[in-house]
Amino acid sequence: MNKKILMTGNEAIAEGAIQAGCRFYAGYPITPQNEITAYMAKRMPQEKGVFIQAESEISAVNMVLGAAAAGARAMTSSSSPGISLKQEGISYLAGCQLPAVIVNIMRGGPGLGNISPSQSDYFQAVKGGGHGDYHSIVLAPSSVQEAFDFMKIAFDLADEYRTPAIILGDGMLGQMMEPLVVHGPRSTVHGKIKPTTNPAAGGSAYGGDYRLSTKKWALTGCKNRKPNIIRSLLLKEGALEELNNELQKKYSNIRTREVRCEAFNLKGADIVLVAYGTTARLARSVCKKSTRYKLGLIRPITLWPFPTRIIEKAAEKAKAVLVIEMSAGQMLEDVKLAVCGKAGVEFLGRTGGGIPTEEEIIDKIRKISVQRRVLRQAQDYSKDGEQGRTTYSV
């Protein structure tokens, strides 16, 4: 049975986790995600789960590691500076092949920064952050509904692939309030997901199974079986390389199977906007309203694995790609790699907690449009060898 309620993004994340079967939460207060810790403090005991306000973000992520090792669906949340503290723990989760969910409600940085929304932790989330060759699955919700829905996706993927999953939100998403449809306990979430863990049917071969009782690798006491060891230390010659090969194979599978992306108005678009999270809401608004320009939007939902192919194909037909981020240009690099020279890639960014406005975006689009036409004008000029008219409409 579905219910419609009004909730902040932070609360939706917490409730979404609970409904996805999360029964362990450890966290530390930090703005702008304190609603998550408060909500969990109240809600977890109701579901006979465990809530701990840890002594630090470092301790919290290590508690999550312990809970995950014991077979529980475990989660922690923080904001940028606190997520920096968790990087070692995330590397350990990846190396030990443990499932867990880490929520980052991004704020302005670097350093102590401010408490306004930002998207400047993309590199940290997507490129590693912690040491070693690993990846976390990264999901970027763009609405309170998605903040809720993506929790189940995150836990399911984390369990299936035995890998950490990061929810990359921002202070705007965390604090804003929108109506939310809360699905009944048995319903499935939108988006394509994965089902089977049966290797024969194409499911994960990594022993991932999100039913608690059947995590064969978990630490439950060695009754009726050989002891289990959770470790990422492999000193014997070649052993760590073997683990790394296994991890890379896992990531390759994830890249093949788990890309999620929204394409809006791409058909015939001259300029393709690429944005995620809160910025994508603004970009979509601009796309919808624009009558002068044909604008499309690609909204990555998984930032890792990145929707490279979709962007590449769109770039083949577009005149320009405009990346909009609340950062100095982080996802921009992955877009450039995907576009691979097939179209010009432009960038509009705000840093330090600044949020782009629709007017800024439209202004940028206008400038891009002018530049592209100027270029074409210049080319015609040199080709014909005669003075072309230099008037153009904007």
Partner 1 sequence: MKRVFSHPKSLRNIATHYCAGCGHGIVHRLIAEVVDEMGIRERVIAVAPVGCAVLAYDYWDFDCTEAAHGRALAVATAIKRVRPQNIVFTYQGDGDLAAIGTNETIHAANRGENLSVVFINNAVYGMTGGQMAPTTLLGQKTATTPSGRDAKYEGYPLKISEMLAVLPAVKYIERVSLDSPAEVLKAKRAIRQALQNQVDGIGFSLVEVLSPCPTYWDMTPRQALDWIREVMAKQFPLGRIK
- What residue ranges bind partner 1 (CB under 8 A)? 23-24, 26, 50, 52, 54-56, 58-60, 62-67, 69-72, 74, 88-89, 92, 96, 219-224, 227-233, 235
Which residue, 45 or 195, is less far from partner 1 as judged by CB? 45
Q: Closest separation between CB of residue 156 and partner 1, Å?
A: 19
Which residue, 98 or 273, is less far from partner 1 as judged by CB? 98
Cis before 305? omega within 30: yes
Q: What is the dihedral of CA 298, 302, 306, 310, to 10 degrees?
A: -40
Which residue, 91 or 308, is less far from partner 1 as judged by CB? 91
Which residue, 25 or 39, is less far from partner 1 as judged by CB? 25
| 34-to-13, 50, 77, 102, 390 alpha-carbon distances in Å | 12, 17, 9, 14, 57
DSSP per residue, 29-52: --TT-HHHHHHHHHHHHHTT-EEE
| 132-to-1, 90, 113, 235, 240 alpha-carbon distances in Å | 44, 11, 27, 15, 11
| 164-to-30, 294, 371 alpha-carbon distances in Å | 21, 39, 43
What are the tokens at 233? 């230390």
Q: Closest separation between CB of residue 99 and partner 1, Å?
A: 14
Q: Closest separation between CB of residue 219 and partner 1, Å?
A: 4
Which of these, 129, 122, 124, 62, lies nearest to 96 by C-alpha position?
62
Q: Closest separation between CB of residue 253 and partner 1, Å?
A: 25
Which residue, 97 or 116, is less far from partner 1 as judged by CB? 97
Q: Closest separation between CB of residue 52 and partner 1, Å?
A: 7
The alpha carbon dihedral of 91, 94, 98, 104 has a sign of positive
Q: Closest separation between CB of residue 222 and partner 1, Å?
A: 5
Phi–psi pair at 30, nearest 5 degrees: -160, 135
Which residue, 60 or 158, is less far from partner 1 as judged by CB? 60
Which residue, 34 or 232, is less far from partner 1 as judged by CB? 232
Identity at 3, one-letter amino acid code: K
C-alpha to C-alpha distance for 76 and 128, rounded to whole angstroms: 18
Which of these, 179, 191, 106, 168, lies nearest to 145 by C-alpha position?
179
C-alpha to C-alpha distance for 319 and 332, rounded to whole angstroms: 17
Q: Closest separation between CB of residue 42 and partner 1, Å?
A: 17
Identity at 57, one-letter amino acid code: E
Which residue, 64 or 269, is less far from partner 1 as judged by CB? 64
Q: How many CB atoms lie within 10 A of CB 47?
A: 13
Q: Closest separation between CB of residue 66 and partner 1, Å?
A: 3
